[in-house]
Structure 1
Amino acid sequence: MPRLTALDPADAPEKFRELLNDIIGRSGGVGEMVSTMAHSPALLQGYLDLSRAMKRIKLPRALSEKISLALQEWIGCGRCLQAHTEAGRAAGLSESDIALARQGTSADAREAALIAVAVRVLAEPSSITDEDVAGLRAHGWSDRVIAELVGLVTLNLLTGAFNLLAGLRAADSTTYDASS
C-alpha cells in the first residue's frame, strides 16, 4: 500500500500541472513515481533534469542497466529491480548477465571493476581510494565515465529511496519512466 498518494495532474501544483500534462501528451501516461514526486515540485524537477542528463552518459545502455541492477539490489527497491531487469533484457542482457549484475559483478572484468566501484560509491563512498580510481583507468575507463558513474548512482539512489519511502511497490510498465 502506498504511503504517499499519487497526484492527479489536475491536483498537482500549478507549475507542474503543465509539465505532467506534457509528459502525458508525449508518453500517454505518467507513472506512479512521477505523479507521487509531484508533491514536491523541487524533487520532481530535480529528478526529471537528472534523468534526462543521464541519458547522455557515455556508458553503453546494457552496462548502465547492469550497474543499475547492482545498485538496486543493494538499495532493495523491488520496483526498480523489476524495471531495470526489463530494461536490461531490452538492451540485450542475458539472464546470466542480469543475475551477475544483481550480485554486483559481470563476466567481463572491465565491467566488473566499474560495477564494484559503483556499489561502493553508493554504500561507502568514503572508502574510495586513489588506487580504486587508478584501477578503473587501468581498465580503460575515462575520467568522463568515472564522473558520470556518480550521476548514475545518484539517480538510482533517488528513485529507489523515493519508491521505498513512498511505498511504491509494483512497476507499471505502461507509463512514463524518465530514466529509461
Structure 2
Amino acid sequence: MPRLTRLTPDTAVGASRDLLADLVSRHGRIGDMVSTMAHSPAVLGGYLQLSRAMGRAKLDRRTSERISIAVQVLQGCGLCLDAHVGAARALGVDEDEIERARAGTSADPAIAAIITLALQIYREPTSITDEQVIALREHGYSDRAIADVVGVVALNILTGAFNLLAGLTPEDATGA
C-alpha cells in the first residue's frame, strides 16, 4: 500500500505542478513514481534531469538494463525490477541473460565485467581497482561508457529507494 499520495497537475503546487503539467502534456499521463515524487520538486526535477541525461549515455541500453536488473535485485524494488526486466525484454535480451543479470552476471565476459563494476559502485566503490578499469577498456568500453555506469547506478538508487520509501509496488502500479 502506498505510503505517500500521488499528485496531479491539479493537486501539486509550485514547480512540481509545472513539471507534472509538462509531463502530462508531452506524454498524456504520468506514472505512480513520478506523481508521488512531485511532493519534492527537488527530487522530481533531479530525477527528470538525470533520467534525460542517462538517455544520452554511451553505454548500450541492453547492457544498462542488465545493470539495472542486477542493482534492483540487490536494492529490492519490485516496481523497478519489473520495469527493467520489461525494458530488457523489449530490447531483445533473452530470458537466460535476464536471469544471469538477476544473479549479477552475464554469459558475455564484457557484460559480466561491467555488471560487476556496477555492483561494486552500488556496494563498495572503494573496492574498484586500476586493473579492473584497464580490463574494462580491454573489453572495448570507452572511458565515457565506464563513467556512465555511475549514472545508471545512481538513477537506480534514486528510483528504487524512492519507490521503497513511498511504498510503491508492482501491484499498485498504474503506469510508468
Normalised by the size of structure 1, how large is the TM-score?
0.93
Residue 171 of structure 1: how far off its partner (Å): 6.4
Residue 151 of structure 1: how far off its partner (Å): 0.5
Tell me which amino acid in the other structure corresponds to 1:163.
N
Tell me which amino acid in the other structure corresponds to 1:150.
V
1:133 to 1:171, Cα distance in 2 relative to 1, 3 A:
farther
Give distance in 2, aligned partners of 1:172 and 1:54.
26
Q: List runs of 5+ in structure 1 lacking aligned partners.
A: none
In structure 2, the residue matched to 1:20 is 20
Alignment of 1:1-180 (within 5 A): 1-170=1-170, 175=175, 177=176
Tell me, what secondary structure is at the counterpart of 1:153? helix
Percent of aligned positions that are identical: 59
Deviations 1:77-115 (A, max 9, x none): 111110011101100011111101111111100111001
Residue 138 of structure 1: how far off its partner (Å): 1.9
Residue 23 of structure 1: how far off its partner (Å): 1.0
Asked whether the equivalents of residues 2 and 172 of structure 2 are also in contact (C-alpha less than 8 Å), the reply is no
Tell me which amino acid in the other structure corresponds to 1:135.
A
Residue 172 of structure 1: how far off its partner (Å): 7.1
1:5 to 1:174, Cα distance in 2 relative to 1, 3 A:
closer
Tell me which amino acid in the other structure corresponds to 2:38.
A
Q: Would you say how many aligned residue pairs link Structure 1 and Structure 2?
A: 176
Asked whether the equivalents of residues 97 and 107 of structure 1 are also in contact (C-alpha less than 8 Å), the reply is yes
Residue 21 of structure 1: how far off its partner (Å): 1.4
Give distance in 2, aligned partners of 1:172 and 1:64.
25
Residue 143 of structure 1: how far off its partner (Å): 0.6
Give distance in 1, aligned partners of 2:11 and 2:142.
45
Residue 16 of structure 1: how far off its partner (Å): 2.1
Normalised by the size of structure 2, how large is the TM-score?
0.95
Give distance in 1, aligned partners of 2:14 and 2:129.
46
Q: List runs of 5+ in structure 2 lacking aligned partners.
A: none
Tell me which amino acid in the other structure corresponds to 2:94.
S
Tell me which amino acid in the other structure corresponds to 2:110.
R
Give distance in 1, aligned partners of 2:110 and 2:59.
12
1:147 to 1:7, Cα distance in 2 relative to 1, 3 A:
same
